[in-house]
Chain A
């Protein structure tokens, strides 16, 4: 058993409206998601806003209680545990959020921010805080300063130091670089990759930026309206995308090279994301899909290996007419 994290048929539903005799709508933000991440691996989770990728991360962490399904951390089912048992597992998984301006308490010093998880767990040592700051490339004298004195990239380093303090094995990174400028983004990505190598960390890397995900991930999962529509190794998903959604997503990313821009094929999707509280029947992507047939409205495509072993996609016509770039 080498899976650090195994998620099976996870659901997170929200009730919208209702009351006073009106029927509530059910929004299936996470609608039956299963995947696993091996120790020391990075799984990149991509999708557009509203696809449920952040909710999935929060449900795994227990920040939002899943509706059903199971989340196993290193073989132990977190949802079947008592609260006290779950508390004991908490230090093993940590999170880094997108916005380093909102996720750090502006009144606390950097030292106190990084020390907080240690104090809560009764293992505070000043030397540990120093070690963590050093680890993410912050100077020791910065420990007495407040977040306001730092730039975005430095704040994200503080958030990473805090996440590392308890020596976690799994870190859920929710859009950790999307608020940063390009030149700073590269610094933080390099830091995350170095830390993973040194400490054997496992990452769930949630992001909408496909180039960043490709750079940092070993395996990649693509989400659309609460479900994973494609999953495989980085080279499978980026090199031979099988699902039409992945294909159009990849073709929509502007390439920073003007050479051949006139001849580059681009699949421009029709329309917007459908209302997630009232998704289309059958395949949820069919209303925007360039391959949609009658069958797509009737039958929900399963996420199974279709084009190669270990390369799963949820499309009846996976891989056919694959032409991207």
Chain B
């Protein structure tokens, strides 16, 4: 049984001002996040994954970007209609965000403890200073910062990268949010530290029951943590399905290419990696029709790919893909694999 929808995004479009006029960084995207789940958003740089989340949080850079259409609802309540005050009451309390680089998202001249205390004090008015301090120390301890009482009075530069990210997590969970949005939370960290931080996130979620949106370019991280996954490309959702379906039976040629181009630790290494030809499109040169069409191996010269934007449609139960020829993907993958085997012989 599917849990209730907690966050619903419909036809969201975000435009950036460029010298050539407004350009769509996010183009008509829709998805739902359910209670308690981990929703993975994967994509390469420029795919629009971070911009989508900034739009959801009302954190788009003012004057440069605007929401040109669509709806974002948190528990049925529209977030886009809220004024700054209304948004502030929700942000940091019900929805909170963990950013990629804890060095730039923590204030270097304010003690770690005070930064966490600020997050608590903003949403829990009436708590005494000592109660806030106790809560902040407890939070630091709960994310595995050793000696939380002493660490409370230290500055960010006295924390290592992994410890800073723990402090960010402590701040994000200070008010028991229902959704944690983690934007590349471990990209700046080494793998052994990444493993520690992901473990902290898992234990925090187990304790609080929060849902998490995990934005990453790391398919491995998604495979290990997510329940459902959206694959983004060129500002659109290319494919959306449960994590097992996405990895076992991708139904969009981009997802297929992405998976095939990964060097793997757990597979015998072949001589050559599959590589998707060409480059991901920038904001300006977005192709018409399907954004992926100039790099697609399944296009086979068909005109429809260049003229008609494929809708994100259900191609199997609870499995959506935005490809006109999604039904051919399975056969195409087998064909390519067979050709590769033949070439190897």
Chain B nearest CB from A314 CB (Å) reads: 18
| Contact among A154, A211, A254 for B223, CB-based, below 8 A | A254
Q: A186–B269 Cα gap in the complex (Å)?
A: 13
Chain A nearest CB from B295 CB (Å) reads: 8
B218 closest partner in A (C-beta):
A254
B272 lies within 8 A of chain A by Cβ: yes
**Residue-by-residue, is A189-221 near B (CB-CB < 8 Å gives 1, otherwise 0)?**
110010000000000000010111011100000
Which residues of chain A come closer than 8 Å to B258, judged between CB atoms?
182-183
Q: A249–B190 Cα gap in the complex (Å)?
A: 10
Contact, CB under 8 Å: A252 / B192 = yes
B242 closest partner in A (C-beta):
A258
Chain B nearest CB from A265 CB (Å) reads: 12
B269 closest partner in A (C-beta):
A215
A261 closest partner in B (C-beta):
B224
**Interface size bracket, A side:** 35 or more
Q: Decide yes or no: A187 and B275 within 8 Å by CB, A182-B44, A182-B258, A256-B264 being known contacts.
A: yes
**Interface size bracket, B side:** 35 or more
A185 lies within 8 A of chain B by Cβ: yes
A48 closest partner in B (C-beta):
B190
B264 closest partner in A (C-beta):
A211
| Contact among B221, B225, B279 for A153, CB-based, below 8 A | B279
A148 lies within 8 A of chain B by Cβ: no
Contact, CB under 8 Å: B265 / A258 = no
Contact, CB under 8 Å: B223 / A261 = yes
B271 closest partner in A (C-beta):
A193
| Contact among B45, B163, B219, B244 for A256, CB-based, below 8 A | B219
Contact, CB under 8 Å: B265 / A252 = no
Contact, CB under 8 Å: A183 / B223 = no
Contact, CB under 8 Å: B196 / A256 = no
Q: A248–B162 Cα gap in the complex (Å)?
A: 17
B229 closest partner in A (C-beta):
A258
Chain A nearest CB from B40 CB (Å) reads: 10
Contact, CB under 8 Å: A252 / B276 = no
A16 lies within 8 A of chain B by Cβ: no
Q: Decide yes or no: A257 and B162 within 8 Å by CB, A211-B265, A238-B265, A248-B192 being known contacts.
A: no
Q: A249–B192 Cα gap in the complex (Å)?
A: 6
Contact, CB under 8 Å: B273 / A268 = no
Contact, CB under 8 Å: A254 / B221 = yes
Which residues of chain B come closer than 8 Å to A208, judged between CB atoms?
190-191
The residues in A between 7 and 49 inclusive whose CB is less than 8 angstroms from any CB of B are: 48-49
Contact, CB under 8 Å: A189 / B223 = no
Contact, CB under 8 Å: B266 / A266 = no
B263 closest partner in A (C-beta):
A215
Contact, CB under 8 Å: A182 / B160 = no
Q: A190–B162 Cα gap in the complex (Å)?
A: 33
Contact, CB under 8 Å: A48 / B44 = no
Chain A nearest CB from B163 CB (Å) reads: 7
A250 lies within 8 A of chain B by Cβ: yes
B44 closest partner in A (C-beta):
A181
Which residues of chain B come closer than 8 Å to A254, judged between CB atoms?
194, 218, 220-221, 223-225
Q: Decide yes or no: A182 and B224 within 8 Å by CB, A151-B279, A248-B192 being known contacts.
A: no
Chain A nearest CB from B320 CB (Å) reads: 18
Contact, CB under 8 Å: A325 / B266 = yes
Contact, CB under 8 Å: B196 / A253 = no
Contact, CB under 8 Å: B275 / A272 = no
Which residues of chain A come closer than 8 Å to B191, judged between CB atoms?
48, 208, 210, 249, 252-253
B247 lies within 8 A of chain A by Cβ: yes
Contact, CB under 8 Å: B263 / A272 = no
Contact, CB under 8 Å: A215 / B273 = yes
The residues in A between 208 and 259 inclusive whose CB is less than 8 angstroms from any CB of B are: 208, 210-212, 214-216, 238, 248-259
Q: Decide yes or no: A189 and B220 within 8 Å by CB, A269-B192, A272-B193 being known contacts.
A: no
A184 lies within 8 A of chain B by Cβ: yes
B133 lies within 8 A of chain A by Cβ: no
| Contact among A186, A268, A272 for B199, CB-based, below 8 A | A268
Q: A253–B191 Cα gap in the complex (Å)?
A: 6
Q: Decide yes or no: A255 and B263 within 8 Å by CB, A181-B44, A190-B275, A208-B191 being known contacts.
A: no
B195 lies within 8 A of chain A by Cβ: yes
A245 closest partner in B (C-beta):
B192
Which residues of chain B come closer than 8 Å to A187, judged between CB atoms?
275
Contact, CB under 8 Å: B194 / A252 = yes
Contact, CB under 8 Å: A269 / B196 = yes
Which residues of chain A come closer than 8 Å to B224, judged between CB atoms?
254-255, 258, 261, 264
Q: Decide yes or no: A266 and B273 within 8 Å by CB, A183-B44, A215-B263, A255-B266 being known contacts.
A: no
Q: Decide yes or no: A256 and B192 within 8 Å by CB, A153-B279, A183-B261 being known contacts.
A: no
Chain B residues proximal to chain A, CB less than 8 Å: 44-45, 160, 162-163, 190-196, 199, 217-226, 243-244, 247-248, 257-259, 261-266, 269, 271-276, 279-280
Beyond A182-B261, A253-B191, 14 additional pairs, beta carbon < 8 A = A48-B190, A48-B192, A49-B190, A181-B217, A186-B273, A190-B275, A193-B271, A211-B264, A214-B265, A255-B266, A258-B224, A259-B248, A261-B223, A272-B163
5 closest residue pairs by CB, A with B: A254-B220, A215-B263, A186-B261, A186-B275, A48-B190
19 contacts between A and B (CB under 8 A): A48-B190, A181-B44, A182-B219, A183-B257, A183-B280, A186-B261, A186-B274, A186-B275, A190-B275, A193-B271, A208-B190, A215-B263, A215-B269, A215-B273, A255-B265, A257-B223, A264-B224, A272-B162, A272-B163
